[in-house]
Amino acid sequence: MSKSAERRVGIFGGTFDPIHVGHLVTAVNARAALGLDVVKLVVANEPWQKVGGRAVTPAADRLALVEAAVSGCEGIEVCDLEIRRGGSSYTIDTVEELLRVEPDIELTLIVGADVVPNLTSWRSVDRLQQSCGLVVVNRPGSRLAGGQELAEQLAGWRYEVIEVPALEVSSTDLRDRAATGRPLDFLIPEGAIRVIAERGLYAQDR
Ligand code: ATP
Ligand code: MG
């Protein structure tokens, strides 16, 4: 396969508890801005950063929400590798598994601005830097350092910052909305709202 024919794949990982428009707008706009063939929404099995705090919704439910949300959305896919692998989810394992199956793909990790300060604690970050580019998107409430400061935070990465529509929405807020009976409409795609209702998710949070 020639260099130009390589498939360009975006990896957008998250807990997606639940998925919301902030995730989808980011995925669609990162795909367009970078000319990616596909963006994979990688649903974490056990997000190690979040273990020990609140109970995370079972992975199968979070996966069903993402599936319902992206159905019919061109170029956006669900990836259940981390759930099938089980245990704690590390991006490096997912990246290496994807590259084993399809060695010619070019991978780009997509993260929101709030994730940037945590990147240094990711497992095998040096290997990730060898295998993937990085795209950072703006997120309301999370200041993104500029210029030299950002370059220092992201030392070792081939990175790019892209601007996406700023949507002040978070899964934390949506769980609270659901638990207190406030509307989820237009913050979460309709299909995923139906899954929440059918499975009785987020009603017991308080
Ligand atoms: P929680 O409040 O439970 O942490 P969250 O809304 O932050 O949920 P995550 O699943 O933690 O969602 O995030 C997955 C990825 O999506 C992260 O890279 C995060 O920065 C990004 N992201 C989440 N919400 C937005 C948003 N509104 N705009 C841009 N990026 C977002
Ligand atoms: Mg988060």
The pLDDT confidence band at residue 56, using thresholds 50, 70 and 90, is very high
Instruction: Report d(CA 10, CA 164) in Å as an integer.
Output: 15
Q: Is the separation of the CB atoms in 190 and 162 below 8 Å?
A: no
| Residue 186, both tokens | 């237009």
Ligand 1 within 6 A of CB of 89: no
> Exposure of 180 by Cβ count < 10 A (0-12 exposed, 13-18 middle, 19+ buried)?
exposed
| Position 5 pLDDT exceeds 60 | no
> Exposure of 128 by Cβ count < 10 A (0-12 exposed, 13-18 middle, 19+ buried)?
buried
- pLDDT of res. 205: 47
More confident residue, 46 or 108: 108
Ligand 1 within 6 A of CB of 169: yes
- pLDDT of res. 206: 42
Ligand 1 centre to CA of 2 (Å) is 35
Ligand sitting nearest the alpha carbon of 18 = 1
| Position 50 pLDDT exceeds 60 | yes
Residue range 85-95: mean pLDDT, rounded: 96
Ligand 2 centre to CA of 133 (Å) is 21
- pLDDT of res. 55: 86
> Exposure of 93 by Cβ count < 10 A (0-12 exposed, 13-18 middle, 19+ buried)?
middle
Residue range 98-105: mean pLDDT, rounded: 96
The pLDDT confidence band at residue 3, using thresholds 50, 70 and 90, is low
Output the CA torsion sign for 19, 36, 166, 156: positive
The pLDDT confidence band at residue 146, using thresholds 50, 70 and 90, is confident
| Position 1 pLDDT exceeds 50 | no
Tally the C-alpha atoms within 13 A of residue 135's C-alpha that lie toward its C-beta. 24
